[in-house]
Chain A
Amino acid sequence: MSLGEAIRNSQLWKSVFRHPMPLDRRNRIVVMLTNFFLHLHPVSIKKQGIALSYTWCMGGVTFFLFLVETVTGVLLMFYYRPTLEWAYNDILSLRDVTSLGIMRELHRWGAHAMVITTWLHMYRVFLTGSYKPPREFNWVVGVLLLLLTLLLSFTGYLLPWDQLAIWAITVGSNMARATPILGSEGPGAKLLNIDGISMITNASDARFVTIGARFVGEDTLNRFYVLHCIAIPLAVALLLAIHFWRVRKDGGISGPL
């Protein structure tokens, strides 16, 4: 008995992998059904559905980039402190002195790439008409994931706390000031008043809720940090699970009938 065989016959190995090596047809089917990570997939699939020229692989690439962002993001969280005192300096030392500071580059370029691949995935889904029945609802979930991807990128943009960061977020969040009715400079804001005293001011409007203050400051940093690292990723994880599950339930990858 060779060493490899001995390992594969051990109780330990067999308790982890419930199937023999996927070398023959039967076990290639079994592996898809018994492995947690593989069970997202069907067992067999039409050849057309896995042709790269059809799928562009962009949905898968987007998911992989989400994983890259999660891993590099967690590593960055060990290092980065979201306070006015440290945020910029921590990024500076990630660039200049920290070992594996390249995690920040991977994280930032991965984020840009993820926005692009999300768009390309949606472009492919539209151009192949894959949103048509029975997949309508999964397209809706996909649009929500697009929104969350953009919000993830937007909240992350602030964290380096350099000029680029705070002014981009200032420009972006200033828009919330103009929200109809709920923004202090939005149409209809004056409607919400009690005896002429406006309820919507720059300390209570939609922009204030977004950035946690009247201008982009430490409260914004904290708010965006929590949104970026916890709240939005959790929402994405939930919607991703629904998105993948629905791909299977709605008949697998699209193709001509």
Chain B
Amino acid sequence: MHSAPDFLSHVATPLGFYYMILCVLNWVAALVMWRHGPKTYTTLKLGPATIPVTNVIVWLLVGAAFFVCAPLAMIGLPPELPSEVKQIVNELSGPVTLTLGSLALFTILFVFRRAWTAPPVAWTILNLALLAMGMSMTDPNFTAIVAKPDNVPIVGLVFLLGFFTWLATYKAVLNDDRAAQGLPPLEKEDNEKVLVWPDLVYTELICMVALTAFLLLWAIALQAPLEEPSSRVKTPNPSKAPWYFLGLQEMLVYYDPWMAGVVLPSVVLLGLMAIPYLDFNRKGSGYYTISERKFAYLVFQFGFLELWVILIILGTFLRGPNWNFFGPFETWDAHKVLAQNNVDLSQFFWIKWLNQSMPKAPTGSGAGTELLYILWREMPGILLVFAYFVLLPPIMAATIFRKFFVKMGFIRFMLMSNLLLMMGSLPLKMVARWSVNLKYFISIPEYFLNF
């Protein structure tokens, strides 16, 4: 099934411009490569003429393909994703595939960083991503979410993060190669001092002018959102926090508000502030490198890209009414029903494994007795959480983090291991939810204490 023609005419002009921009991007890339002297891969013999096959020709052709797409989009015949593909994407996507899939992708990108940061490869990936984006924009459901005014910045964020991650990784790989040959990092080569006037102040001026122009264009092209006047009786479904907090809102699926909304955000800020005092590695200061600080790099990237950005993408684009998951091409149906049968650890323990009823204080007993019964009921979870946060750090210090412990000392090591464990509790809770429908390790609704 193709998208409704009236929708295609609705997006015709923006898509036309979009493909024109992609075309110009590729032609500019071709121009830049031509100026730098193209690398010839092979030659084509066409009768008497010999045509060298170079990067330049490849990107000229890619640009030409986009050049053809532009008018096609304008007359309502843009390249579209086949509906089968959309259906498969919708069916495959979900919180599990998204988080685990992105984690797998980041792992692959990390391991093969040398391969994908090579400029031609990275440029190809960018082109494919932009093409996929363009083809997806012909889908009304996809566009309804992505083109929502307040969501546009997040689309920008995704591409900006992609670009800057590429840039940083590219430079890190170069520096790591140099280090292997005993050379100083590239940043060291430009040690020569220049005067701030004109070299820096002119750059700043140009940046300011360019940014002002960009903001003006953005402001003219896209109106700031303004919905109906507020009404306390009409609750929108879904009700979402501002986009930069949607990672936290997504955590509400797995944690109670006191964790997702108060404790974990505080721990994130505290953990960020603690970074310079925990990272005892003196290498990699002032230049891009991965090999010289693998641990710090991986922890940060896992926290930032996986647990912060991916959850924001999930919360913004893929969570619909009732916070249900919807695929990127799926209609947000408020009546979608998902069976949710989540069970607390204490219920697993007493009812399923011991075949007993849950411990419950006899009616009429005092608050103290009641509390004891609650603690007894939640004993398995309390022991587990205690072991996780209190017993694991010394075990870590004695085993895999032995060197860290020696270098960091007791206090700093305990702080680091608890921050790491706190961070690790989110993926652990996710996996526990997906695999055995575990709701809470500790469930004390009587005192609003669920973990």
Contact = CB atoms under 8 A, between A and B. Distances in A.
A180 B245 contact: no
Given A105-B224, A130-B285, 12 more contacts: A28-B195, A64-B211, A68-B215, A131-B279, A163-B230, A164-B227, A168-B242, A171-B241, A186-B448, A255-B286, A256-B185, A257-B286
Nearest to A84: B230
Interface of A: 22, 25, 28-29, 31-32, 38, 41-48, 50-54, 56-57, 60-61, 64-65, 68, 88, 91-92, 95, 102, 104-106, 108-110, 112-113, 115-116, 119-120, 123-124, 126-133, 135-137, 139-140, 143-144, 146-147, 150, 153-154, 157, 160-168, 170-172, 174-180, 183, 185-190, 215-216, 254-257
B71 interface: no
B399 interface: no
B258 A183 contact: yes
B226 A162 contact: yes
Nearest to A106: B219
A61 B211 contact: yes
15 contacts: A45-B193, A54-B288, A65-B211, A105-B219, A105-B220, A109-B219, A115-B244, A131-B276, A132-B276, A132-B284, A137-B276, A154-B242, A165-B230, A168-B241, A256-B187
Interface string B250-269: 00000011101111000001
A162 B240 contact: no
B196 A42 contact: yes
Chain B interface mostly helix, strand, loop or mixed?
Answer: helix
Contacts of B444: 187
Nearest to A156: B242
Nearest to B230: A166
Interface in B291-333: 293, 296-297, 300, 304
B386 to A, nearest CB: 16
Chain A interface mostly helix, strand, loop or mixed?
Answer: helix
A119 B309 CA distance: 11
B310 to A, nearest CB: 14
Q: Which 5 A-B pairs have the closest CB atoms?
A: A175-B261, A136-B276, A105-B219, A178-B257, A48-B190
Given A120-B160, A178-B448, A150 B244 contact: yes
B293 A129 contact: yes
A75 to B, nearest CB: 13
B224 A95 contact: yes
A174 B279 CA distance: 35
A178 B229 contact: no
Contact of B275 (A57, A139, A167): A139
Contacts of B296: 129
B164 interface: yes
A170 B218 contact: no
B207 A60 contact: yes
A170 B216 CA distance: 31
B338 interface: no
B241 A109 contact: no
Nearest to B265: A175
Nearest to A138: B276
B150 interface: yes
B177 to A, nearest CB: 15
Most buried by A among B212, B231, B287, B449: B287
A153 B382 CA distance: 38
Nearest to B235: A167
Given A129-B285, A167-B235, A106 B215 contact: yes
